[in-house]
């Protein structure tokens, strides 16, 4: 567990010091009307560290295919497999010459894991320490959005763990707001027990103190802060 906290601290330091850790830049999104994805202040889709677009509560396959990002629907970048093939065909030559001004800042992503005790939504000291470090790093950038995704271990029903993961994400949001971050820049989501860090062979057996301790990495909130350095 301590090794995991150290690992994420090292990752934070590496990311904050490297402007090369940027998202692939795309055409600004037309934000008129319902927007199915989280968009930053420059009109660019916010993505996770693994390249996935963050959906809003307005997301539907239809909205993904209707809202434009340049010449193509935004869903062609984020959910291409859900859209009709013809929707994502490249425009004819010369149709997209004017791509607009390039952003004048470099985008970075910061990550941290906040850890929780078994069946609890109260931050552990290690979790607070990780968030404190993240908050310090965030002060050095222009924050666009912060996304907190809660998780639970395998014990308990799907419905119970979904609620617990949501409470954990909200706990992280409340802590960061208390530190001074703007509430409207923080998005929360719960994933229940769908995305464990541990592997099935890591923590075998029925519920016991040993197995519960082994599953500690799964009781977490993944926190991703997206912002920009301005070089002007």
pLDDT in tens, 48-76: 767 788 888 777 777 777 777 667 788 78
What is the average per-residue pLDDT within 3-16? 36
Phi first, then psi: what are they for 110, rounded to 5°? -115, 145
Closest CA to 194 of 159, 227, 154: 154
pLDDT band at 13 (very low <50, low <70, confident <90, very high): very low
Length of the chain: 232
pLDDT band at 168 (very low <50, low <70, confident <90, very high): very high
Q: In what order do the strands lie in the sheet with 105-115?
A: 105-115, 220-230, 142-150, 186-190
Structure tokens at 58: 């307005």
Show the domains of the chain with their CATH numbers: 2-17+104-230 (3.30.1330.60)
226: β partners: 109, 145
- Residue range 173-192, pLDDT digits in tens: 999 999 999 998 899 999 99
Measure Cα distances from 68 to 96, 100, 157, 190, 218 in Å. 13, 14, 40, 28, 37
- Tell me how far apart the alpha carbons of residues 112 and 8 are, in angstroms, rounded to a whole number: 6
What is the average per-residue pLDDT within 111-116? 72
Q: At what angle do helices 125-138 and 158-179 cross, to 10 degrees?
A: 50
229: β partners: 106
In the predicted structure, residue 103 carries a pLDDT above the cut 80: no
The pLDDT, as a whole number, for residue 64 is 77
- Tell me how far apart the alpha carbons of residues 129 and 132 are, in angstroms, rounded to a whole number: 5
- Tell me how far apart the alpha carbons of residues 211 and 206 are, in angstroms, rounded to a whole number: 7
198 Cβ neighbours under 8 A, 6+ residues apart: 153, 214, 215, 217, 218
- Burial class from Cβ neighbours inside 10 Å (0-12, 13-18, 19+) for residue 125 reads exposed
DSSP tag of 184 = G
Closest CA to 151 of 202, 199, 123, 115: 115
Phi first, then psi: what are they for 62, rounded to 5°? -65, -45
- Tell me how far apart the alpha carbons of residues 15 and 56 are, in angstroms, rounded to a whole number: 26
In the predicted structure, residue 212 carries a pLDDT above the cut 70: yes
């Amino acid at each position: 567990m301590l090794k995991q906290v150290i690992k994420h601290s090292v990752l934070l330091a590496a990311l904050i010091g490297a402007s090369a850790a940027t998202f692939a830049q795309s055409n600004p999104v037309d934000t008129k009307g319902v927007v199915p994805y989280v968009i930053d202040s420059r009109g660019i889709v916010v993505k996770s560290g693994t390249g996935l677009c963050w959906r809003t509560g307005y997301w539907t396959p239809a909205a993904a295919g209707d809202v434009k990002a340049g010449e193509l629907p935004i869903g062609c970048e984020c959910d291409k497999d859900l859209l009709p093939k013809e929707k994502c065909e490249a425009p004819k030559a010369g149709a997209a010459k004017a791509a607009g001004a390039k952003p004048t800042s470099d985008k970075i992503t910061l990550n941290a894991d906040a850890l929780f005790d078994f069946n609890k939504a109260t931050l552990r000291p290690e979790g607070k320490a990780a968030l404190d470090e993240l908050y310090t790093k965030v002060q050095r950038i222009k924050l666009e959005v912060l996304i907190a995704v809660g998780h639970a271990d395998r014990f308990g029903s799907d419905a119970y763990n979904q609620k617990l993961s949501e409470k954990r994400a909200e706990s992280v949001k409340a802590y960061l707001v208390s530190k001074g971050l703007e509430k409207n820049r923080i998005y929360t989501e719960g994933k229940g027990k769908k995305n464990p860090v541990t592997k099935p062979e890591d923590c075998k057996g029925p519920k016991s103190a040993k197995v519960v301790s082994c599953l500690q990495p799964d009781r977490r909130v993944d926190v991703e802060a997206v912002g920009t350095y301005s070089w002007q």
